[in-house]
Every structure is written in structure tokens, then in C-alpha cells.
Amino acid sequence: MFVFIITGHSTVPTRTRYSQKQNHRTSLANSTPEMDRKIWHKLPVELLERILSFLPLKTFLYLRSTCKLILQIPHILSTAPLPGHAISPPCRIPPVLSNSNSNHKLAVIYALTIYGRRNSRLPPGPYPFPIIGSLLKLGDKPHRSLASLSKRYGPLMSLKLGSRTTIVVSSPDIAKEFFHTHDISFSGRTIPEFVRIVDHDKYSVAWLPTGDQWRRLRRITREYLLSVQRLDDSKLLRQAKVQELLDHVDRCCTNKMAVNIGAVAFTTMLNILSKYMFSVDFGQYDNVLSQEFKEVVIALVELAGRLNLADFFPILKPFDPQGLVRRGNVYGKKFMTIIDEIIDQRLQSRSSSSINNDVLDSLLDAMNKDVSPFTRDEMRHLFYV
């Protein structure tokens, strides 16, 4: 096996280095295809990739004939990886190189695909295409595509999605290192453009950076929304809603009607959350036309699940080419209007009737406390999460 050591500095005298460099260039220029083929046959794929990525431009041009031979080695894909490393792809030369000896074309390809990775400390990953990166590798089922890529490049890999460099973690142990051991270092998140509608990124505990506001909202969420006692108290509520679902399915079976499993499951979850937070059911099983709140929630979920090109190409943000942010603002404002109406009705009922003791009442009590200021905007966006 051949070992190549490439360093940026040397302690060899200048004259000696010059003579060695000249001899190296001469040997490269006079090397035969047979010798080149033997060398590349013996190199593991990852080592081959690293060598090509660190070569200076002049040496790369000397080796253009050798790079063409890589495409003629079919068994190189089956080369065993180095211990502890994932298999990386071989050097793939575009067709333009195989039919042209133009050094200018070689220089352009070199600058686009190799020179940018010379000093890269990123995890292994597929070589990106110019401009679009590795977006095409995601396909229509990104979760399956990422699982397949992780089998090839390892549990920690890098993807170039448009102009965004993304690190993909697919191992529980590595995920623990990211989100538990070094959680503060990796607490910042890239905010998608859709999250910025109705200024949600400024009030959401899920998207705020680590700071005083985030800690205060996390404490309120843990104390008033997700406390163990409150979740235990809602056990009977959840059982009642599941029983309503079973009754609806039983009626459909008796009347020989088809059941839309996705629709009734969504209605059940929506009613559990709305009853838990507002003591109101926002969905109905027997109503063909969904209520306004349900329609708004479905529209926001569908829009949030779509791929937004502006997230991968920031230059497109002002244009909103798919119209996702524009439509999201429409439904986001409708959602906030509905929440405002519910809060106003509750404030009026609290002055004349008993308290429902749900999440909304608890948050209204927290908003009236002077110890920890909790604004109405923060409450509205807490329901928006």
C-alpha cells in the first residue's frame, strides 16, 4: 500500500527542495499509464479522495490522464474502507474532461469541486453539484435518502444543500454528544423562512436563542403546560377523546361508511389539545366541512412541510418564489385572530363565572404576576408552536 504525506512546510534546504520538485514534475510528466493504473488500483477510495483534494493545481493538471483512468476501474467502489472510516466516493471526472485537453476547463472544474474542500474539516459526504449541491440526492422521501446515505458515509456526514452546509447525525451516541454533552455550543438553529411568519421566531421557545427570554419561556412551558401533575390530570380527558373516536368508527361500521383514518386521527389529536388548553373541541367527526380553526391548522401544517427553496438559496428570500411565506402569513394571521378571540372571551368569562382551570387560565394567572413578566404576544405564540 502506498502512503502519501503532504505537508505545507519542509525543513529541506531550498536548493534541495527545488531539485526534488523538478524531479517530481519530470517523473509525473513522464509516467506511463501502466504505472498510474497500478498505483490507483492499490489506493483505498478515501485515501484517493484525500490525495486529489490536497493536490495543487499544477500537479492536478499533470495527473489529468490518471484521473481519466479512475473511471475505468470498476472494482474501486468495492475497495474496503480504512478502519473506522466510511467509504467515500471515487474521483469522478465530468465528461468534458474525457473529451478535451483544455487546461482552462480543468482549472474551472478544479476550482468548483476540489479546491473548496482542500482545507475542509467537515465530515465525509457526497461531492456536491455546482449551485444545487446535493439537493437531488434527497429525492421525494428525504428520510429514506438520508438513511441510505448514512450507511455509505457513516453516522456523521455533511451535505451541501444549495448554499447551505448541513451536518446530518444518524447515531444516538453522536446525537447525545451534540444535544446533551455540548448542548450550549449547538443550541443555535438555522431558522427557516416559514418560521418567521407573524414574527414567530421572536417569541417561540423552540426557535429563540439561548438567553433570558428563552429560559423564562421554557420555565413557563414546563410549569404551566407540561408539568407532571397537569399531564396526569388530563388522563381522563385523553381517554374520553379516544372513546369518542371509537364510537365514531363504530357508527361508520354500522352505517357501512368508509373511515378516513388520517382525518379522524387528526381530529382526535386536535380535540385533545384544544380541550386541554381551552376546554373547547375544535374538530367534529360528523361534519364534512371542518371548522375554521381546523382548516387553518391543516393549512399551516401542509405549508410547513413543503420544501422552501429560499431556505437553501438565501438570495431568493425577497422573491418568495413558491409563495409559501405569503400564504403562511395569511393563515398565521387567521390563527392569531382566533386565539385573540378565545383569550378575550375567557377574560370576560373569568370576571363573571368560575375558572375552568385549564392551560389558558393558568397562563392568564401567570401573565398577571409581577414577579415574572409574561406578555400576551408570548402567550399567543406559545399556542402557535
The answer to whether 380 touches 360, Cβ cutoff 8 Å, is no
Among 187, 131, 139, 140, smallest CA distance to 160 is for: 131
Alpha carbons 243 and 316: distance in angstroms, whole number? 48
Alpha carbons 353 and 156: distance in angstroms, whole number? 57
Note the pLDDT of residue 285: 76
Note the pLDDT of residue 310: 92
Note the pLDDT of residue 253: 93
- pTM to 2 decimals? 0.65
Structural domains of the chain in order of their starting residue, each with its CATH number: 1-120 (no CATH), 122-186 (no CATH), 193-384 (1.10.630.10)
Among 152, 154, 89, 83, smallest CA distance to 123 is for: 154
Alpha carbons 313 and 192: distance in angstroms, whole number? 11
DSSP structure class, residue 226: S
Note the pLDDT of residue 51: 63
Q: Could you list the mean pLDDT of each consecutive 10-residue stretch along the chain, which spans 385 residues? A: 34 44 47 47 60 58 49 38 41 42 50 50 87 88 91 92 90 89 83 92 90 91 90 92 94 91 90 91 67 86 90 92 94 94 89 79 84 84 87
